[in-house]
Amino acid sequence: MEVYVLEKQVLRDDNLEALNIIKEIDTLSIINKAEEIMKKREAKKINLIGITICMLLLIFNVTTGVVCGVKTFFILQISFLWLSPILIFPVIKKYFFREELK
């Protein structure tokens, strides 16, 4: 089992380090890179939520406009006007008050 023993000895992590095979890695830069990727993903998600809400509002407006008369349409618009900020608020909150990595 000579080769087997040799392999075990030479490939031990401390030996690899002594041979300068295990190089230093800047872990902090990896964390920063990961943070950037996460921010981009979050922004994409927020954009998607925003677009979905806008589309839903648009569909709602068009449907009520077509189905109901102008008068009813405006009444519905006024009645549901308070709904828009409530729907959009979580998106704004997430976007502007996002928690950063400490």
Q: Which residues bind another protein (CB under 8 A)?
A: 1-4, 6-13, 15-23, 25, 27-28, 30-31, 33-35, 37-38, 99-102
Nearer to another protein, 86 or 100 (CB): 100
Shortest distance, CB of residue 39 to another protein, whole angstroms?
A: 11
CB of 97 to another protein, least distance (A): 14
Work out the burial of residue 59: count CB atoms within 10 Å of its CB; fewer than 13 is exposed, 13-18 middle, 19 or more buried. Answer: exposed
Closest by alpha carbon to 98, among 33, 45, 53? 45
Tokens found for residue 14: 């401390």
Q: Looking at beta carbons only, is 85 or 99 nearer to another protein? A: 99
- By C-beta, is 28 or 66 nearer to another protein? 28
Cα–Cα distance list, 51 to 48, 75, 87, 98 (Å): 5, 25, 12, 19
User: Least distance (Å) from another protein to the CB of residue 8?
Assistant: 7
Nearer to another protein, 78 or 101 (CB): 101
Please count the residues of the chain.
Answer: 102
